[in-house]
Amino acid sequence: MKKEMTFHVTGSAKGMQTVVHSRQHTITIDEPPSIGGQDTGPDPLTTLLSALAGCENVVANLVAKELNFDLQGIEFDIQGTIDTRGLMGDPNVKPYFQQVTIHAKVKTNEPQERIEEL
């Protein structure tokens, strides 16, 4: 049986800045001055990596509950590499992350084999 959830945001943009609303939350996304923004918020790609950390955390917590795993917290170090030539229109270069690396340090009293299971 299908159980769907719908996620919805609205927003407006002026220059490089985008202000997005979701329920009672507001997110400002902008670029630094070197790219034409005002640096009023994180850039779009950093925001994407931040969302990835949030997704990884939610899934880890759901799985930990299922496994009766003592998950006390997670520290994330996420890095994405992009070739900016693709963003600037070079058709020979992909305009998205070439590589994303996630390092997650799990805070727990569980043994290593349980951490690997999580």
pLDDT attached to residue 87:
84
Identify the pLDDT of residue 43.
95
Mean pLDDT of 36-55: 96
3-state secondary structure the chain: CCCCCCCCCEEEEECCEEEEEECCEEEEECCCHHHCCCCCCCCHHHHHHHHHHHHHHHHHHHHHHHHCCCCCEEEEEEEEECCHHHHCCCCCCCCCCCEEEEEEEEECCCCHHHHHHC
CATH architecture of 43-117: 2-Layer Sandwich (3.30)
Domain spans in the chain, listed from the N-terminal domain onward: 9-41, 43-117
Q: pTM of the entire structure?
A: 0.88
